[in-house]
Structure 1
């Protein structure tokens, strides 16, 4: 199953962005005016369609065949390069349009685009495209040699999951007595004050936390057995089907009977008759469907049961719980304590070990391993089973120090379990989730900060028919990932979020080698040329900044804290000159940064610029040429006295933060032309025309 689960639309979504760019009318018109060879763009589209057609087969085979994985890596590398070129052309088209609109009609006004020879521009772009086409032609040829075939979308179709049953081995359950008693109390409670004859109790939690096990414990409890006249356990299929669920429930409450040729109407009427006036318990295990109407249609026969009937729903998705529940809140299943996790691990790991002296050594190592499980019973059970027949101390130490994704699929089902949740994500969420692998483990983040990064990396898909802002789309993506336990709130009262340790492992796995995090103790790690997103989670030695000359296609330069206190103007400006593909540049806290070189205006792709808490006095006027810039953070730039006078050219700017810039006397003129602006921390009123409060 694991191989199939690796299939997904992660790379497919990336290619879709390229298809959208290739269809952009303004870009095509701009190139047409320069007599650009449109045949190259058509050839690029054909090549991308060719490789896209076999992606599902490739993503499924990459685990068993390293050559296929390498093929996917090369394809993704080429896709990044193609996106860089198309984004640059789109930016040039935008610049040309803006400069044409702003001409005053005087002959002295010369466009920056006109300073570039049309022939040299076209020639340069065509040559770069030809290089990528050669690369893609080679990749397309390799797909045939690798035997890759056109295949139905594995990542977009559900993969059959293991069927669960109501049977449970209670001797293998630890730390769930309180949860069990709480659910049983809800089951046995009277419903006299409720408007609902049938109560729905959702149990919510991330994959592997033990929702099914808890439901099994409750289902088989003696008090529950006596309280309900009828019971039924249904493992809900991936593709939610009212007919199948109804048939399964009916089969459980009637004598053996074949309903294969029966219509849904007959099934529901038959089930209504069997449930009429009876107090029943039904468990719907592993629900994914969020369609309220589907649930209402399916539940019609249930409403004919006796008052006090109950339905337990287990789900990873809080939206499902909100739709189905009738109780005031749903039951959120928390992780096990380290002590209970250890008991479960030991139950599986130590049963067959005979040497007591070896056991003592392994127990010490095992307790450290259990901490890596972070309270997930599935992880503890799987790791315990993995080490069950191993008495070699070295083997246990190897497991302790290795990352979970290094385990083979046959030995460990941790990755497949988490991959299942990833597999069911829509393609647009897969890209956003994979990007989060840039954060180190245990890193805390806020919703707005992450959404702004997603925006800068062009990971948010806006519908042409929907009027929602990019921020609203990003918030929706974020909340979806929270509802499915990919992100977790630090506490109920805080606005900080984090990724579970094992979920972070999953993000690292699916992001390949394009995200790199420089962490403490890893200062000698090699930053490869394929890296596109670079995060510094530790103090950055100057020699590491010098090594950036090798990764000139970097898109993200992101210190997570003020980790560049002693970096000089020269080092920063040299890095800017080399990193021409940046979308995100954060230089917050550079204690020596008091001047930016004018070459900052050459970063055509830049969407996110953070210069907060630096002693910079002025921004170069070339900043006004960053037409794609969406976020400019200048907060606490205590020496800043002036903003670029042509800042109103930043028509895509959405967030401007100048809070704490106490020496800044006024805003530049015509700030009202920033039509995309969503958030402005402070407006400093000036005396001149175009700088007053009317703006």
Structure 2
């Protein structure tokens, strides 16, 4: 069990019981007294939980915590059931057209029965918790507050033998350069060395501190190990090396006097403080130093580097393979001499690689193997995992655990949950956030801030503290995935204890206290059976598949049997994955999963979802991605009032959206919105664009499919996308083969005008639009980065794109009627100011393909006959200053490129294919039409 977990759950229970909604529930069902008793009991528990969780080495405390855990989780389930019924009741009361059947369900007699049932459950919970409380260990202290730091002092000094440091020559040079170069206008500036525990930040700082160049460069040098206690008086005493019990007034005078007008180097080693005010209170005392003074901080947290006004931050990385092997030999072999035994050497190299370049891990494990000459000792060690190694004082995991110990409880909870991901697993950050929310780990006191937004802040904080690494972002800067260092993965496993497990194919035994499971292998229901010990873990809350590949159809009875085992045993599930099992229908037994928040049925073969699925009213995430045969969603989907993420990516078979979907005001993810020309989708009718306009919380990407002139123009919807400020990507896909003969061209254009997106949009893709020109709002897309126009066969005029300031990628494909890309006034009618403007100031990639009548970039329009023969090809204003990739394919009538492309300063890739006229001109390496192009790295002209 991860430290801080129970504190967090207890906090959630107390918050619920204190809410106005639960006070009303208590009155309705006559259980308000029991609610109050439960709240008081849990408050009493919470007061000692943090102390208990830090004293788990005591076996009595550990056993007591296990009994508390069971009781608190059960209380959480009961309150969840209350909350569900209350929400259902409220929804029914707000509906004026309530069916007789529903009225009967919420009749007075029914409410009385439910109240008696739930009252009995609450009494049992109170009785159980009071019994557990009576066995509380006597040495536990009350602590109502979530302490951010525990008292675990670390002591370091400034000396290190230079020969002990391996592989840090380049890092040493770089940091010394930072210490000596003028990097700030202030006399005193700060430099931070940032990296995970065990990388050798302290050793590197020691090496630099004793460097001869540094010794001669600074008049005063001070080494201070800060560790956890960043209180002004304590830190100042450490800097002054004072043992006197002076008041802060005398201390601050002594410190300012010590550094006054001296060029000093102050090393603050192992800094954890993230309170900016505390930092500023110290910094103010240090600013009197001489010009060129430096404060060098070592820390595991990027947040520390930020709040300490770091002029330069240096991220320390692990050793490379050669350096790691060099250090390992030094630690594991006598005199550092490599063994001649090939078996021992092979094991040693594997162990060195496993240490992932972390010097502390290499030193610790190499030291354990020092002078072992017996081949069997090495082979025996090879079979062990790091987490099984005896945890000595200098071992790597206790060192890394320091980073974990100082986390606030809500971050401990979230990090420990990541033990469900195996080493080197690419973690989808969006999915991770949804999983955290589904488990109830995320709390928000700000009504204007969604749980996912808070969860994202949690993720960023863990990233900054180096618990995550290898973060990947898309072209818009949106974080997509991350990984955990192998040692951080070991740490997550350590702190999650028996509560989480990554299941392997041959695993048979499972602890009954298990809460979260993931499967790190492909589960084929026709071959794999649920181990008999797994159903005994009755309290499982996460059931997650990590690496499923799509199967062919399987026998429906296998899936039903599999799900029946899950439903009958794991009644507290919050997250259930049935991804890519080849199932053709959602098993009926799942309707009993009343606590479920996250259901993943992606990659399966069902055509429809059962009507009863809307009864899973707690569901927040429904993942249907790549259910390619799905034709419709449940008609009463509006009853899923807690739904926040409806993931429909790749659901190409959808025929429309059910009427009422616009009532799901909290939906943040809706990948696809499919329009239906008929208003008779299924049994409940179909939703139009007007309903899309009510979903103002939408984030990320949206694809609107089966657009048509008729559907849009007849819906009278205003501009449903104009206020969708959180969308970053939009795809507008027109219905294939729409007949627009006899339709006024202006009416078609008006049908696009109503689709105006918010100006925050980053990416726009338009497919199959049938107008001769585009909507006027294109020029308002000031933040657009990627623009793709494809299959707009009747298009003759493009919108003005050349002055869009953020546009980096432009793709024009299958525009069969397009003769010219832009229309410009001739140069004699242009102002000098216009002549100086760069066209496409940010464009990096330009792709034009399958435009059979395209002749050139601009069609000239002149204002007098004297200039009527002039061509825009001769206009000399600059353009494309950032273009690096130019791709033109199958444009047989294209004769030339715009004038500004003659001297593209950054062009690195040029492809001109199936453009006979243009290709012939461009093959000439010299001439007035094109400069020498041999310097371009990648050229393909055919």
TM exceeding 0.5 = yes
Is the CA contact (8 Å cut-off) linking 1:51 and 1:143 kept in structure 2?
Answer: no
Q: Secondary structure at the match of 2:424?
A: coil
Q: C-alpha deviations, 1:63-107, integer Å up to 9, x for none? A: 2x4443333233223322221121112111111211222242675
1:532 and 2:510 are equivalent in the alignment: no
User: Is the alpha carbon distance of 1:213 and 1:130 closer, same or farther for their aligned partners in structure 2, counting shifts above 3 Å?
Assistant: same
The answer on 1:553 being equivalent to 2:571 is no
Matches of 2:41 and 2:101, distance apart in 1? 45
| CA distance 1:646–1:408, shift in 2 (3 Å) | same
Cα deviation code 1:237-295 (max 9, x no counterpart): 413122333344345xxxxx77642533x444444444333221111111222233333
1:161-180 mapped onto 2 (5 Å cutoff)? 161-180=153-172
The structure whose RCO (Cα within 8 Å, separation 6+) is larger is 1
Q: Spell out the pairing of 1:597-676 with structure 2 (5 A cutoff).
A: 597-676=587-666
Counterpart secondary structure, 1:544:
coil
After superposition, give the CA deviation of every residue in 1:325-370 in whole Å (9 maximum; x if it has no partner). 443x41100011233333333433334999988x876554333322
CA deviation after TM superposition for structure 1 residue 487, in Å: 0.7
User: Structure 1 residues 105 and 488, CA, compared in 2 at 3 Å: closer, same or farther?
Assistant: closer
Separation of aligned partners in 1, 2:24 and 2:558: 40
Supply the distance in 2 between the matched residues of 1:99 and 1:501 (Cα, whole angstroms). Answer: 50
Output the CA distance in 1 between the equivalents of 2:84 and 2:177.
62
Report what 1:467 is aligned to.
Answer: 448
**Are the aligned partners of 1:279 and 1:305 in contact in 2 as well (CA < 8 Å)?**
yes
The 5-angstrom pairing of residues 278-677 of structure 1 reads 278-327=262-311, 329-351=312-334, 362-388=344-370, 394-410=376-392, 413-463=395-445, 465-490=446-471, 495-519=480-504, 522-542=505-525, 543-545=528-530, 547=532, 549-563=535-549, 565=551, 568-574=555-561, 575=563, 577-578=567-568, 579-591=570-582, 593-677=583-667
Report the counterpart of residue 694 of structure 1 in structure 2: 690
Moved more, 25-34 or 203-212: 25-34
1:552-610 residue CA offsets vs partner (Å, 9 max, x unmatched): 4332221113257365433333415424322112222222x111234433322121122
The Cα offsets for residues 4-61 of structure 1, whole Å up to 9 and x where unpaired, read as xx9943322222222223333323433432334x554444445434544443443344
Q: How far did residue 531 of structure 1 move? A: 2.1
TM-score with structure 2 length normalisation? 0.66
What CA RMSD, in Å, does the superposition of the two structures yield over aligned residues?
Answer: 3.1
1:91 to 70, 79, 84: 84
Following the alignment from structure 1 to structure 2, what is the Cα–Cα distance between the partners of residues 342 and 381? 11
Q: Does 1:62 align with 2:45?
A: no
Per-residue deviation, residues 623-654 of structure 1 (Å, max 9, x unmatched): 21222221222222221111111111112211
State yes or no: 1:24 paired with 2:19: yes
SS across alignment from 2:83: helix
Tell me if the contact between 1:198 and 1:310 (Cα under 8 Å) persists in the aligned partners: yes
Contact 1:489 1:495 in 2 (8 A): no
Gaps of 5+ in 2: 680-684, 692-942
Q: Check the 8 A contact 2:603/2:628 in 1, yes or no.
A: yes
Determine the C-alpha separation between the residues in 1 that align with 2:271 and 2:111: 59
User: Structure 1 residues 115, 664: closer, same or farther in 2, change over 3 A?
Assistant: farther
Which residue is equivalent to 2:881? none
Tell me whether 500-509 or 291-300 shows the greater mean CA deviation: 291-300
Bigger Cα displacement from structure 2, 72-81 vs 310-319? 72-81
1:23 & 1:603 partners in 2: Cα distance? 26
Rounded to whole Å, the distance in 1 between the matches of 2:521 and 2:339 is 43
Instruction: Indicate the SS of the match to 1:683.
Output: strand
Change (3 A) 1:8 1:261: same
SS at match of 2:673: coil
**SS state of the match for residue 512, structure 1?**
helix
- Kindly state the Cα deviation for residue 132 of structure 1 after the two structures are TM-superposed: 4.3
Report the Cα distance in structure 2 between the residues aligned to 1:35 and 1:389, rounded to whole angstroms. Answer: 73
Distance verdict in 2 for CA 1:544–1:53, change over 3 Å = farther
Instruction: Assess, with a 3 A threshold, how the Cα gap between structure 1 residues 159 and 400 changes in structure 2: closer, same or farther.
Output: farther
Report how far residue 166 of structure 1 moved: 0.5
Rg larger in 1 or in 2? 2
Distance between the aligned counterparts of 2:149 and 2:610, measured in 1?
A: 51
Structure 1 residues 123-132 or 285-294, which shifts more?
Answer: 123-132
The structure 2 residue matched to 1:35, chosen from 30, 33, 42, is: 30
Higher helix share: 1
Q: Hey, what's the Cα distance between the residues in 1 that align with 2:162 and 2:514?
A: 48
Match of 1:3 in 2: none
Checking the alignment, whether the CA contact within 8 Å between 2:427 and 2:482 is kept in structure 1 is yes
The 1-side partners of 2:308 and 2:102 are apart by 65
Residue correspondences, number: 672
Alignment of 1:241-252 (within 5 A): 241-251=231-241
- Deviation, structure 1 residue 385: 3.1
Instruction: Report the 3-state secondary structure (helix = DSSP H, G, I; strand = E; otherwise coil) of the residue aligned with 2:136.
Output: helix
| Structure with greater strand share of residues | 2
How far does the alpha carbon of each residue in 1:407-428 deviate from its partner, in whole angstroms, 9 at most, with x for none?
3444653222121111111111
What do the CA deviations read for 1:397-444 (whole angstroms, capped 9, x no partner)? Answer: 444333333334446532221211111111111111111111112211
In structure 2, the CA distance between the partners of 1:122 and 1:230, relative to structure 1 (3 Å rule), is same
Q: What whole-Å deviation, never above 9, does each CA across 1:101-135 have from its counterpart, x for those lacking one? A: 22426756535455994454344434544554554
Q: Name 1:254's counterpart in structure 2.
A: none
CA distance in 2, matches of 1:105, 1:354: 83
Q: Secondary structure at the match of 2:459?
A: helix
